[in-house]
A and B are shown apart, each in its own frame.
Chain A
Amino acid sequence: MKTKAEVVIIGGGAAGTSIAYNLAKRGITDVVLLEEKYVPFGGTGRCAAQFRLQFGSVENCKLGLLSVSQFDTLGEETGYGDLEIIKHGYILTSYEQESLEIQRKNVELQKSLGIDSYILDAKQSKEVVPYLSTEGLVGGSYCTGEGHINPMKMVYAYKKGATDRGVEFNDYTKVIGIDVEGGKVKAVRTNKGTISTSCVVCAAGESSKYIGRMVGVRIPVEPAKRQILATEPVEYIKAPMIYSFKHGTFITQVPNGNFLMGSSEPNVRLGEVDFTPTWDFLERMAKLGIEQVPMFAHLRVIRQWAGQYGIAPDDSVILGRVPQVEGFHVACGCTKATMFAGAIGTLVAEEIADLETSLPMEWYSIERFEQGRLIKDPAIL
């Protein structure tokens, strides 16, 4: 392992690997990435493999657009190859006129930003998702520019692109301290040695708060368990992800035919990283799934796993410089690191390289919490 580097990235998920690649692409190749387990052990490797554009805030819509434009070329650009990108779209379902009105406003916003989304009634919804139950359904919003990406392949592509340009990746390397002198980052200490550096990026996802504490910065991201069920594979139909605010669930079919589904967890214990699956999720999710897609009653669940969300006060990403410590940057995807990986990597790399950033960094800055500028997005589960 190097003992000196221009930039040290902590975390080998979508955010960290994308930053590594985007730095290297901009000529900053004296970079070391540290991963406590392996790439991608955490949220990225456990997510539902989707990216979307239908958000209810300018900040998130812009992040989505910037990311998707990167995904489109990433496989080729890095020489990795196919990333299984399938733009099957999302349908955000509504079961009340009132919530459909909110969606109508979101669609207006999305259209003004160049996102091609529109409102469907119940009958049209059924046309785009033939297996969706229309019982109680009022309609939904739909967009075809979003969909599936294989998150494993995505991080492997980033890793390949970065290591081909000279970035060093270290698995099973745990950060045990960060040295700060005179308000400036000096070194990162790990279980495998110390790396002198003046620039550290914390891309540690749900574990970011622990890294923040090492430099005396409170990163307001709490880990929270989320789980996914996978069914046996059946014939693949290119239908949109079903995203329901009423049920608090998402349901999607991945290209090899398995359905994945997950839900928000009202009673989950915040604050602890916990990968233990529970039977009550299995039962609850199965019921919520069958309610929306009745044919699930005939499908077997073959797997269940748990990952972590990183819950931020406004459920949105935290990116960029931290004012208290010079040379300390955060890149917390806050549950959306996979879908926003392209943008996270681009913006943080641009900032470190002192380039003009593609989007205003103050939108995503950690300072927004103190300054009361939260990202207000009504389209997040």
Chain B
Amino acid sequence: MNFTEVAVIGGGPAGLSAARSAAEAGANVTIFDRNSRLGGQLIKQTHRFFGSEKEYAGERGIRIAGILEEGVTAERITIKRNTTVLGIYEDGVITFSENGRYDKITAEKVIIATGASEKQILFENNDLPGVYGAGAVQTLMNLYGVLPGSRVLMVGAGNIGLIVSYQLLQAGVHVEAVIEASYKIGGYLVHASKLRRYGVPILTRTSIKAAVGEEEVEGAIISNVDKDFNFIEGTERQLDVDTILLATGLSPLNELIVNVGCKQRYIPELGGMTALRDESLETTVPGVYVAGDVASIEEASSAILEGIIAGTSAAIEMGFISEKAHRDREEAILRLNALRAGETGRKIREGMKKALTEREKSNVV
């Protein structure tokens, strides 16, 4: 059977930085990514990032993907593109499909960095063609140059909803409205302001009730909601749209976590069902780590830092001990804590308290 010292599943920001960190510390690493191009969701993100320079602020996502990919060109790293990991079995065997061919491998350490998928919400006709995830449309437009439709309703005013709406405008698509069930806009106001300057209404306390159409979307019925998110009768109105985009959050792609038997908990602050982990991001299954959106739904910058923590921790645990590995690990932990500091990080901090295994919690206190 094939063997690799560290298997990194997922070649997005978390996986790539984990692979690089583990390899720099001395480990042989294999990266598995189901796409032909590394970088995960970064490769469709044409907008500039905010934050500090160390986390690539000011760079466009697609450029960051390039930088991270340059980091995994070391000889110790094997990259398996077009490769889907199928399962991790009880005996540690990882099965995968590489360009359609089945094979298997074992590893000393496994870093699961599979990311997240878009949440679908419940409403009448939500399976009509023309209802998309907003992230999926971002991929369609920015990667493949395909427009989803001509008149769009965006559901959700978080950063993804706001940014994709703006990119739709840039591509010449009419955005009829952005609706948001909460009483306030979830994303950065700088993104919201751009939309407002173009005259796009952002309707808070409003949600979608139904998609209209027989074969495809021909309209959307929206309605005001009260503070408990119940529809307020008599406030329904129909919008003339052919496309409904859902930017209603992400949930961790946790199939492999379930498969490998990591202890999980439902932690809404982190996006849903997610693995319990210690400060090194090691799960309750020894030798299995999580990093990035699969561990908690955050920004690419946090994913990168989590990748460094998981990659260096795994390497150190394997005996690849160096001052640099320790320093990189400590620094990543500090920077991650800094990213999660302040008011905007409160939710994540609350979630992290629930996600830490008992041992770690006692250490924190």
B80-94 vs A, Cβ < 8 Å mask (1 yes, 0 no): 000000010111010
CA of A326 to CA of B361, assembled, Å: 54
Task: Confirm or deny: A276 has a beta carbon within 8 angstroms of a beta carbon on chain B.
Answer: yes
B26-55 vs A, Cβ < 8 Å mask (1 yes, 0 no): 000000000000000000000000000000
Cβ A282 vs Cβ B95 within 8 A: yes
Those of B142-162 within 8 Å (CB) of chain A: none
Task: Confirm or deny: A278 has a beta carbon within 8 angstroms of a beta carbon on chain B.
Answer: yes
What chain A residues lie within 8 Å of B174 (beta carbons)? none
Those of A227-282 within 8 Å (CB) of chain B: 276-279, 282
Q: How far is the CB of B64 from chain A (nearest CB, A)?
A: 33
Q: How far is the CB of A31 from chain B (nearest CB, A)?
A: 35
What chain B residues lie within 8 Å of A282 (beta carbons)? 95
What chain A residues lie within 8 Å of B95 (beta carbons)? 279, 282
Task: Confirm or deny: B104 has a beta carbon within 8 angstroms of a beta carbon on chain A.
Answer: yes
What chain A residues lie within 8 Å of B91 (beta carbons)? 278-279
CA of A282 to CA of B91, assembled, Å: 14
What chain A residues lie within 8 Å of B104 (beta carbons)? 279
With both beta carbons as reference points, the residue of chain A lying nearest to B94 in the complex is identified as A279
CA of A293 to CA of B318, assembled, Å: 46
What chain A residues lie within 8 Å of B93 (beta carbons)? 279
What chain B residues lie within 8 Å of A279 (beta carbons)? 87, 89, 91, 93, 95, 104
Q: Classify chain A's interface size.
A: under 10
CA of A304 to CA of B95, assembled, Å: 13
Those of B301-347 within 8 Å (CB) of chain A: none
CA of A109 to CA of B104, assembled, Å: 48
With both beta carbons as reference points, the residue of chain B lying nearest to A304 in the complex is identified as B87
CA of A276 to CA of B259, assembled, Å: 9
With both beta carbons as reference points, the residue of chain B lying nearest to A278 in the complex is identified as B89
Q: How far is the CB of A300 from chain B (nearest CB, A)?
A: 8
What chain B residues lie within 8 Å of A278 (beta carbons)? 89-91
With both beta carbons as reference points, the residue of chain A lying nearest to B261 in the complex is identified as A276
What chain A residues lie within 8 Å of B87 (beta carbons)? 277, 279, 304
CA of A276 to CA of B261, assembled, Å: 10
Q: How far is the CB of B146 from chain A (nearest CB, A)?
A: 25
What chain B residues lie within 8 Å of A276 (beta carbons)? 90
- Residue in B89, B90, B91, B104 with the greatest tally of chain A CB atoms within 10 Å: B89
What chain B residues lie within 8 Å of A277 (beta carbons)? 87, 89
Those of B81-132 within 8 Å (CB) of chain A: 87, 89-91, 93, 95, 104
CA of A282 to CA of B86, assembled, Å: 11
CA of A306 to CA of B62, assembled, Å: 42
With both beta carbons as reference points, the residue of chain B lying nearest to A300 in the complex is identified as B97
CA of A278 to CA of B95, assembled, Å: 11
Q: How far is the CB of B268 from chain A (nearest CB, A)?
A: 23
CA of A254 to CA of B231, assembled, Å: 41
What chain A residues lie within 8 Å of B90 (beta carbons)? 276, 278
What chain A residues lie within 8 Å of B89 (beta carbons)? 277-279
Q: How far is the CB of B365 from chain A (nearest CB, A)?
A: 33
CA of A282 to CA of B259, assembled, Å: 15
With both beta carbons as reference points, the residue of chain A lying nearest to B100 in the complex is identified as A300
- Residue in A276, A278, A279, A282 with the greatest tally of chain B CB atoms within 10 Å: A279
CA of A304 to CA of B102, assembled, Å: 15
Those of A98-155 within 8 Å (CB) of chain B: none
CA of A304 to CA of B104, assembled, Å: 16
CA of A73 to CA of B95, assembled, Å: 44
What chain B residues lie within 8 Å of A304 (beta carbons)? 87
CA of A276 to CA of B93, assembled, Å: 13
A5-47 vs B, Cβ < 8 Å mask (1 yes, 0 no): 0000000000000000000000000000000000000000000
Q: How far is the CB of A104 from chain B (nearest CB, A)?
A: 40
Q: How far is the CB of B341 from chain A (nearest CB, A)?
A: 42
With both beta carbons as reference points, the residue of chain B lying nearest to A283 in the complex is identified as B102
CA of A276 to CA of B91, assembled, Å: 11
Q: How far is the CB of B86 from chain A (nearest CB, A)?
A: 8
CA of A304 to CA of B87, assembled, Å: 10
CA of A186 to CA of B95, assembled, Å: 52
CA of A116 to CA of B24, assembled, Å: 71
Q: How far is the CB of B206 from chain A (nearest CB, A)?
A: 37
CA of A282 to CA of B87, assembled, Å: 11
With both beta carbons as reference points, the residue of chain B lying nearest to A274 in the complex is identified as B90
With both beta carbons as reference points, the residue of chain A lying nearest to B90 in the complex is identified as A276
Q: How far is the CB of B171 from chain A (nearest CB, A)?
A: 34
CA of A279 to CA of B87, assembled, Å: 9
CA of A278 to CA of B87, assembled, Å: 10
A140-174 vs B, Cβ < 8 Å mask (1 yes, 0 no): 00000000000000000000000000000000000
CA of A328 to CA of B93, assembled, Å: 45
CA of A318 to CA of B91, assembled, Å: 35
CA of A279 to CA of B93, assembled, Å: 8
Q: How far is the CB of A305 from chain B (nearest CB, A)?
A: 11
CA of A265 to CA of B352, assembled, Å: 44
CA of A304 to CA of B91, assembled, Å: 16
With both beta carbons as reference points, the residue of chain B lying nearest to A276 in the complex is identified as B90
CA of A277 to CA of B90, assembled, Å: 8
With both beta carbons as reference points, the residue of chain B lying nearest to A301 in the complex is identified as B86
- 12 new A-B contacts, CB < 8 A, other than A279-B89, A279-B93, are A276-B90, A277-B87, A277-B89, A278-B89, A278-B90, A278-B91, A279-B87, A279-B91, A279-B95, A279-B104, A282-B95, A304-B87
Give chain A's interface residues, CB within 8 Å of chain B: 276-279, 282, 304
- Those 5 A-B pairs whose CB atoms lie nearest each other, nearest first: A279-B89, A276-B90, A279-B93, A279-B95, A278-B89
14 A–B pairs (Cβ distance < 8 Å), ordered by A: A276-B90, A277-B87, A277-B89, A278-B89, A278-B90, A278-B91, A279-B87, A279-B89, A279-B91, A279-B93, A279-B95, A279-B104, A282-B95, A304-B87
